[in-house]
Structure 1
Amino acid sequence: MISNTMQQALNRQLNNELYSAYLYLSMSSYAGSLGLKGFANWFMVQYQEETVHAMKFYNYINSRGEHVELAPIAGPPTEFSTALDMFEQTLKHEQFITSSINDLIDLALREKDHASHIFLQWFVTEQVEEEENDRDIIGKLKLIGDNGQGLLMLDAELGARVFTPPPAGGTP
């Protein structure tokens, strides 16, 4: 059993993860509309990962004998000024998610909820990776600047990203 406060906080995070999926799906569509199929692919993989993250929270809340409370999800932006803008917004969003995960860990520690603390550790590691990936791509985009050839090369690189689903019944 988890506290009502923890249950509400976990439900908020589940909804944050669903918003993340919406955001990346929107970015995928926008990149595709610009002919940047590699960028579209990268964001589609990100969308798929975020749905897995949301399901981890969904399954955890239910496994603790609690009830998932889905809230309305705000519509994400649908247009972006540049590829760099998309990734700067991605990094900013992932930093928000990192802060949310850290707040959940602080709550778990205050409440001596060791199971939730252990559950959340996976997300701490995941967020380090998410932010690092975003910073790497931002760095490349800044180096590329207005060079169309460079953008096409990065587009090809991002197009090689593949979603690897978690093992059935396992932890992603």
Structure 2
Amino acid sequence: MRKASFNELLSTQVGNEFSASQQYIAVATWFANQDLPQLAKYFYRQSVEERNHAMMMVQYMLDRDLPVNIPGIPAVRNDFTSVTEPLALALKQEKEVTKNIEDMFRAARAEDDALGEQFMLWFLKEQVEEVASMTTLLNIAQRADNLFDIENFIARETVGDSGHDSSAPEAAGGTL
């Protein structure tokens, strides 16, 4: 069985990032519907961040004169029964993205694509922050005595970098 090339994996990841963005909108609206505005705000921001990641990949592909196809995305999950469910889903999703980014890095290295390898370094660093943030949120939710403890934690603490990183690659059309 032939392994997917770096460019093929990158094209697939554009769709994965857009899918993550949509999933985070669904999570954010679920939290908003539960009257948890801090969690909702956090995931609305995460949605934009994932969209920006997709557009960074699109810009890279445009810059390297690679074919760009924007895929459709599968349906997202909208219904949850507890506050920890969407957080666990987000953590699982970020761990999957980390594996995908690692696979892309390895593919670029195997193809002796120094530019592709260098491009993926920023995303590897970003995934450390993403997994750590989601792990923290899930841990806090599991330990909280009530939902307001989670809301207060998010309002008080900085969880993640809110998508602001001056070393981030350029996004097609600019970041939001």
Residue 42 (structure 2) aligns with: 42
**One-letter code of the match for 1:57?**
M
In the aligned structure 2, how far is the partner of 1:12 from the partner of 1:119? 16
Q: Which residue of 2 aligns with 1:58?
A: 58
Residue 97 and residue 156 in structure 1: after superposition, are their counterparts in 2 closer, same or farther (change >3 A)? same
Distance 1:56 1:170, change over 3 A: closer
**Could you say which residue in structure 1 is the equivalent of 2:103?**
103
- The structure with more helix, counted as a fraction of residues: 1
Aligned match of 1:14: 14
> Amino acid of the residue matched to residue 149 of structure 2?
G
Instruction: Write the letter of the residue equivalent to 2:38.
Output: G
Letter in 2 for 1:87: L
Distance 1:34 1:149, change over 3 A: closer
Distance in 1, Cα, partners of 2:116 & 2:158: 36
Question: How has the CA–CA distance of structure 1 residues 164 and 108 changed in structure 2, closer, same or farther, with 3 Å as cutoff?
Answer: closer
CA distance in 2, matches of 1:128, 1:153: 24
Provide the residue aligned with 1:154 in structure 2. 153
The percentage of counterpart residues that share the same residue type is: 23
Query: C-alpha offsets along residues 40-61 of structure 1, whole Å, 9 cap, x if unaligned?
Result: 1000010111111001100001
CA distance in 2, matches of 1:29, 1:87: 13
Greater displacement, 75-84 / 37-46? 75-84
Normalising by structure 2, what TM-score?
Answer: 0.85
- CA 1:15–1:160 in 2, change beyond 3 Å: closer, same or farther? closer
TM-score, length-normalised on structure 1? 0.87
- Aligned-partner Cα distance in 2 for 1:22–1:152: 22
- Stretches of structure 2 lacking an aligned partner (at least 5 in a row): 172-176
**Deviation per CA, 1:99-133, whole angstroms, max 9, x where unpaired?**
00000011001100000000000000000000101
Q: Which SS does the other structure have where 2:5 is aligned?
A: helix
Answer yes or no: is the 8 Å Cα contact 1:36–1:155 preserved in 2.
no
Map of 1:77-92 to 2, 5 A cutoff? 77-92=77-92
